[in-house]
Amino acid sequence: MQASIDRGDTYVASVAGDPVATLSIYWEDPVFWGARPPDAGYLHRLVVARRAAGQGVGARLIDWAGAHIATQGRRYLRLDCGAQNTSIRAYYERLSFQHTGDVEVTIEGAGSTEGPWGASLYERAVA
């Protein structure tokens, strides 16, 4: 994870110096979203520590990610989640994300294949 932080892909959120969440932002996501024009930032690996659950940390980080993406001249914040995970899908919909479709992906690398996974794709405007 440190390499991703050093590259500027992954961010750590802290409260009073205590790390409580992480998220990653990428400027393309061909695995889940395919080839797209450079009009979005893609949110991945949003994780909030249990001790910070229910405090709105996730929603504030998503808002921060949207503002950060907008400063780069991008119009959308996009993300994916498990298609069968109805609770996370409802959470994103409460945060004004629009469901744009579903995909099934298989990830290959390091001599192995993982998946296929069913993913739901969501986006919301940031600008």
Classify residue 64 as exposed, middle or buried by CB count within 10 Å of its CB (0-12, 13-18, 19+).
Answer: middle
pTM: 0.90
Task: List the chain domain ranges.
Answer: 2-125
The tens digit of pLDDT for each residue in 76-126 reads: 999 999 999 999 999 999 999 999 999 999 877 666 677 788 999 999 999
In contact, 126 and 77? CB cutoff 8 Å: yes
The tens digit of pLDDT for each residue in 32-88 reads: 999 999 999 999 999 999 998 888 999 999 999 999 999 999 999 999 999 999 999
**At residue 5, does pLDDT exceed 70?**
no
pLDDT of the residue at 7: 80
68 vs 2, higher pLDDT? 68
pLDDT of the residue at 126: 97
Any idea which architecture 2-125 has in CATH? Answer: 3-Layer(aba) Sandwich (3.40)
Binning pLDDT at 50, 70 and 90, where does residue 30 land?
very high
pLDDT of the residue at 1: 64
Classify residue 95 as exposed, middle or buried by CB count within 10 Å of its CB (0-12, 13-18, 19+).
Answer: middle
